[in-house]
Amino acid sequence: MDKRLVKAGIVNESHTQVERLAAKILSLPGGSSTFIKTFALPTHPQNIKFANKLKNALSFSNGGHLGISVSVYAGFNSIDFYSAMKEFPLQKGDEIILEFEDDERLQFVFSAINKTAGYMKRNNCLVPDAVLQHLATKRLKHWIVKNAKTNLEIVGGFDTNDHNKQYGSKKAGQQLLMSAVSEVLLLKDHLKYL
């Protein structure tokens, strides 16, 4: 069965605008990679403390965002990150921590060399199904990106601003990520039986 038909079926069966958008964002093997935009949070106390060192990463005009997407290829799950922040190029050894509203955390340390994706840097981590289930059911409060070489770190999350056309509120952004991951899990389940 054509994967595009499976994707189209998911889009047509969705019940809400967020679910339809999530299905459009999900990444299929051989398809173009798209992601959910999250942003550095200029008013977060930790970012304010180091604002001089982070001024480019905190500026929306200079990028200031981190893209998150998930994909499945040949049965392997991957969480993909795209950084538009030159101070945080997602190099081997760099780290991303996802903190959820229930205070649980997921930590990802990059073990591969980053790749260029247009004006951004991209890296990914292979994850088990349990991590995808976690992402599909928990609301992301914020993320922390740590640069292993410079020891800089920055906090970000869902934000509404002029550079964000994907969602209209933090809650909608959280739901969008959860729905996108749920759609990938649904697609993975459908592909098992094809």
Tokens of residue 79, six digits: 């969480």
Q: pTM to 2 decimals?
A: 0.79
Note whether 123 and 81 are within 8 A (CB). Answer: yes
HSE-CB for 40 with a 13 A CA cutoff: 29
Q: Which has the closest alpha carbon to 79: 41, 51, 118, 38?
A: 38
pLDDT in tens, the chain (194 residues): 344 444 444 444 444 555 555 555 544 343 344 789 999 888 889 888 887 788 777 765 555 789 999 988 777 899 999 998 989 999 999 999 999 999 999 999 999 999 999 889 999 999 999 999 999 999 999 999 999 999 999 999 998 877 777 888 899 999 999 998 998 888 877 666 55
Paired tokens of 194: 């094809």
- Give the whole-angstrom CA distance, residue 177 versus residue 156: 14
Q: How far apart (Å, rounded) are the C-alpha atoms in residues 178 and 51?
A: 30
The residue written with tokens 């959820």 in the block is: 100
